Amino acid sequence: MNYFGEEKALEAERIHRDSIVIDAVAPLLDRKKYVESYKKGGVTCVAPTVSGGSSSSPEAALQLIGSWLRFIRSREDLKLVRNASDIEDAKRDGQMGILLHFQGTGPFGTDLNLVEAFQSLGVRMVQLTYNKRDYVGNGCEEEIDEGLSNFGKSLVRRLNENRIVVDCTHTGYKTTMDALSLTTQPAVFSHSNSAALFPSKRNIQDDQAKAAANTGGLVAVTAVPQFVVPANGGAARPSLDDLIAHIDHFVSLVGIDHVGLGLDYWWGTPPFSDVDTVIEMWEHYVSVGMWSPAAYPRPPHYNPPEIETPEMLLGMTQGLLRRGYRESDVQKILGLNWLRVFRAVWGN
């Protein structure tokens, strides 16, 4: 859709093409064929989930990481991201950076030495919990949140020592606030929306966002439809403007330097799978206790049509410009804010 007329549409294309674009959460890449979709969308760096949930084992994480390392090695257009300059080099060389991300600390078990092991393999961002209680603390769906455990405190310190980004998405309020008060490095919410706009348990409170920004970190919004707008007993069908409203809220709350993208495309959402498969996957995750129907209402739900798939991410640049963001601010949201955080934590 052309929102601007030809001249402004061409300007949006130029800005998008010239920008470093970082999508910090990409479980869709469980299916590696979707690498092509991100590349077509102009993405500079993307973060596949190489471990999900508290029950994930070291062996399972090693298998996924090994498959990614082999896949990256087989392609000249991909680059494993270990430091901030790798992202800049990927942009310069026409490659796409791959950032390895844990959604949950299951692969560590209770062995802190595994932090060093996985860091050496390229893991650069670790989410503390996934909805439920684990050795670290409580997830966002638990009724009682007692905060970081002693092990959790030791883990945050070890992540800091190893220059791994601490990620508080899916994590309970008190556990999050404990982690944000303890970390000595910038910490993030890699894919969280505003509870002030939509009070889902998966969304975060204003003081959580402020606490992350106060560490030097950021909040990255997610396009997962049921965390953007209510489903209201049917399908959640947010528009891009609905999603950008969450960006607007965080920008007004913590400033333009502390907001990014973690869009969280995944293959259990249309159009990546048919509706029967989507419902089957939802039923599985509900049955094993990873999701509750209250926070994850029965699908199908639909991504904002303007950015329905990663290859359509020019639509995000167009939407931000249409909303009145300046070119420099659009570039910060698209990726420069993430790059700043990564440089602060990982170094050049």
- Confidence band of 55 (pLDDT split at 50, 70, 90): low
Q: What is the mean pLDDT of residues 263-281?
A: 94
Beta partners for 23?
46
Mean pLDDT along residues 306-323: 98
pLDDT of residue 63: 96
Which pLDDT does position 83 carry in this prediction? 97
Name residues whose C-beta falls within 8 Å of residue 89's C-beta, 6 or more positions apart in sequence.
79, 95
CA-based R_g, the chain, Å: 19
pLDDT of residue 232: 78
Paired strand residues for 37? none
Which range has the top average pLDDT, 6-15, 170-179, 229-238?
Answer: 170-179
241: nearest Cα among 312, 323, 329:
323
Q: What is the pLDDT of residue 4?
A: 64
Report the pLDDT value the prediction gives residue 54, as an integer from 0 to 100.
Answer: 65
Mean pLDDT of 247-261: 98
Structure token pair of residue 137: 């603390």
Higher model confidence: residue 119 or residue 2? Answer: 119
Q: How would residue 76 be classed by pLDDT, with cut points 50, 70 and 90? A: very high
Q: State how far the alpha carbon of 26 is from the alpha carbons of 231, 255, 267, in Å.
A: 23, 25, 10
Helix (H) or strand (E) holding 67: helix 58-73
- Dist CA 271 CA 105 (whole Å): 30
- CA nearest to 64, candidates 110, 123, 14, 112: 123
For residue 234, name the pLDDT band (cuts at 50, 70, 90): confident
Concatenated DSSP letters for 252-263? Answer: HHH-GGGEEE--
Say yes or no to pLDDT of 67 above 80: yes
Q: How many DSSP H helices and E strands does the chain contain?
A: 13, 11
User: Does the pLDDT at position 80 exceed 80?
Assistant: yes
Residue 5 has what pLDDT?
A: 78
CA distances 140 to 55, 156, 221, 275, Å, are 16, 18, 16, 27
Give which of 205, 115, 90, 229 is closest to 165, Cα–Cα.
115
- How much is the pLDDT for 53? 72
Q: Tens of pLDDT along 35-49?
A: 999 999 999 999 999
Q: What is the pLDDT of residue 229?
A: 96
Q: Which of 44, 23, 35 is nearest to 93 (CA)?
A: 44
Note the pLDDT of residue 233: 75
Q: How do residues 136-194 score in pLDDT, each as one tens digit?
A: 999 999 999 999 999 999 999 999 999 999 999 999 999 999 999 999 999 999 999 99
Number of other residues whose CB lies within 10 A of the CB of residue 328: 10
Q: Name the band, by pLDDT with cuts 50, 70 and 90, for residue 1.
A: very low
Q: Which domains does the chain have, with CATH numbers?
A: 6-346 (3.20.20.140)
Alpha-carbon gap, residue 221 to 23, rounded angstroms:
10
Q: How confident is the model at residue 3 (pLDDT cuts 50, 70, 90)?
A: low
| Token reading at 109 | 């078990």
